[in-house]
Amino acid sequence: MDKNQATEQLKELREKLEKYGYHYYVLDTPIVPDEEYDRLLQELLKIEELFPDLVTEDSPSVRIGGAILPHFTKVSHKIPMMSLGNSFNEQDLRDFDRRVRQFAGDTPVSYVCELKIDGLAVSLTYEAGKLVRGATRGDGTTGEDITSNLKTVPAVPLRLNNEVDLEVRGEAYMPKRSFESLNKAKKEAEEEPFANPRNAAAGSLRQLDPKIAAKRNLSLFVYSIGELKGRDIDSHYEGLSFLNETGFKVNKETKRCESIDEVIAYTEKWVEGRHELDYEIDGIVIKVDSLKLQKEMGFTAKSPRWATAFKFPAEEVITKLLDIELNV
Ligand code: NAD
């Protein structure tokens, strides 16, 4: 591919990704499956890697999320809410581990594996243990103020059992069963059903009437600390234990792993295991446990170098593979 062809192809890919991203992030109504979006994004990344001078500031490879809906008050995130780099197979995970260990030198590396809940990323701010603000991730630096809606979610503590100043991040989601009964009711009322629980959760929290959010049976898992004053924490796992003690819901399947083989075994377990859960997950998030090492590794324009999101193979692909195996 020469530079002219690359320019042409990048233009086409960016237009498509921007359009799909707008429907997904802003309108909460995707028009293509996630796998199609991910495939186009990987194609874009490959071309941008070959021709780095063609990377633009507003390319979908460096932009996080989407625009803010105009009817919400804007909230600035003191610490940006980033996206995650992706891994699609065992080799990608081993490459990630190699990069991490290059940074770590002789220090042993531990990882924390978490289920990647398919919902809406939110930030909750507490002052002296009292909830003062809840916001969406938005474009990573500016989010939407959805405090009134988040206050209706029972898993969001309004007051903590510790008078801390804290900003915490997590995923608001709709359990599968609630999603099914909501769509059933929508169909009966001849309304457009939601495409999936992620869009249902986002659509419920990104509207102005908190009574609607209150009826939607939403929940929340927290997965990281943005800012915490007056307490030293050395590892991500310790941070999660602190959040749990403080009154938040932390996912109980979270596991600390001492090697990449253990991480890989965890991802394999959940490819099938996810069907037993009462909420949707779209992958596994793997994070370096040591906060010192996280700091040393830092960030790319879009995501932390110390974490990766392992994406499950698309269900159709799994079905096809099973069909081949069973010879049907
Ligand atoms: P991401 O895949 O980069 O992951 C980051 C997000 O993961 C966080 O913001 C958070 O919301 C979530 N998350 C869940 N559990 C977590 C945990 N334990 N720790 C940390 N984060 C956790 O997300 P993204 O940047 O929003 O976008 C990429 C995703 O959106 C892809 O899956 C893509 O397929 C999908 N997408 C789909 C379309 C479409 O048209 N279908 C369009 C745009 C994006």
User: What 8-state DSSP symbol labels residue 250?
Assistant: -
Are the beta carbons of 244 and 273 closer than 8 angstroms? no
pLDDT at residue 236 in the model: 98
Tell me the CA–centroid distance for residue 26 and ligand 1, in Å.
14
pLDDT above 70 as % of the chain: 96
pLDDT tens digits, one per residue of 17-34: 999 999 998 888 899 998
The residues assigned a catalytic role are 116
CA proximity to 138, closest of 21, 283, 57:
21
Distance of CA 241 to the CA centre of its chain: 20
Q: In this model, does residue 322 exceed pLDDT 50?
A: no
**Which has the closest alpha carbon to 195: 278, 314, 136, 280?**
280
Compute the distance from residue 59 Cα to the ligand 1 centre, in Å.
Answer: 17
- CA 83 to ligand 1 centroid distance, Å: 7
* Closest among 197, 202, 61 to 121, alpha carbons compared: 202
The pLDDT value given to residue 147:
96
- 261-310 pLDDT tens trace: 999 999 999 999 999 999 999 999 999 999 999 999 999 989 999 999 99
Pull the structure tokens for residue 283: 């992958």
Alpha carbon nearest to ligand 1 atom 29, residue: 34
Residue 129 is classified by DSSP as T
Share of the chain above pLDDT 90, in %: 86
**178: three-class secondary structure by DSSP:** helix
Q: ipTM of the assembly?
A: 0.94
Q: Shortest CA distance to 43 belongs to which of 92, 9, 19?
A: 9
Contact 122, 170 (CB under 8 A): yes
Mean per-residue pLDDT over the chain, rounded: 93
Neighbours of 245 (CB within 10 A): 12
pLDDT at 319 over 50: no
Q: Is 309 in the pocket of ligand 1 (CB under 6 A)?
A: yes
Q: Taking residues 31-59, report their average pLDDT.
A: 92
Pairwise CA distance, residues 283 & 280, whole Å: 9
Residue pair 115/284 in contact by the 8 Å Cβ criterion: yes
Whole-angstrom distance, CA of residue 184 vs CA of residue 167: 36
Over 90: is that where the pLDDT of 318 sits? no
Any ligand 1 atom below 6 A from CB of 285: yes
End-to-end Cα spacing for the chain? 40
